[in-house]
A = this chain, B = another copy of it.
Amino acid sequence: MNKILSDKVIKRLTLYHSILVDYMHKNIEYISSPQIADLLHIDNTQVRKDIALLKYKGKCKVGYKAYELKVLIEETLKFKTVKTAFIVGAGNLGMALAKYDNFESYGFDISALFDNCSSKIGKKINGKNVYDIKELPKMADKFGVKIAILTVPGAFAQEVTDFLVKSDIKYIWNFTPCVLNVPNNIQVWNENLIGNFLQFTVNLDEEKN
């Protein structure tokens, strides 16, 4: 791909991939765009457009080879490119992400968790160690980790962010409800769960009107 894919295309391709993984498990060899469209309740032409972006053509009548399409999506979305990240905050959300199904198969390597709570430090979650947050700068440097997943309580979000920036973390996947104040060379990805939820419910209400 020499063009940047839009967020929406990437999200849909990821969903198509989940469907294809399911097809593999069921040993179904072919999948058609209407089958994908039906599962996602989206328009068939949208599915065909997205897959055309991958320069992949299905076979007339039988559709796409599920395995080939799956591999092509994995190449396009760079599942093989390992993305190493630290989870900062070993509370429920941090632990949930450390345990999240199949993150690894997407090239997503959570190498460790960090917390400042002595009752959590030293624990293992899904095979990953929880370290004292004081260790983070040393370990980020040692393993060249530039991505932090921020799952601390909102009250500590900015304070911990300042610490991450000092620790040479360059990308922060922000799961806190706070807007983080960072220098321009730091990229923050706001997960913004509340925004995601409101985006459904607001328009839901509008549709009802």
Query: How many of these chains are in the complex?
Result: 2
Interchain CB contact under 8 A, A197 and B108: yes
- Name the residue on B nearest A196 (C-beta): B191
Bound-state Cα–Cα, A189 to B193, Å: 12
Contact residue among B77, B108, B193 (Cβ-Cβ distance under 8 Å from A100) = B193
Give residues 10-40 of A contacting B (CB, 8 Å): 10-15, 18-19, 22, 39-40
Interchain CB contact under 8 A, B194 and A14: yes
> A200 interface residue, CB < 8 Å from B?
yes
Interchain CB contact under 8 A, A196 and B11: yes
> A160 interface residue, CB < 8 Å from B?
no
> A81 interface residue, CB < 8 Å from B?
yes
Total chain A interface residues with beta-carbon distance under 8 A: 71
Given contacts A18-B177, A101-B153, 5 further A-B contacts (CB under 8 A): A11-B190, A14-B194, A77-B198, A83-B201, A173-B200
Contact residue among B2, B19, B100, B179 (Cβ-Cβ distance under 8 Å from A18) = B179
Give the residues in chain B near A181, CB-CB below 8 Å. Answer: 39
> A202 interface residue, CB < 8 Å from B?
yes
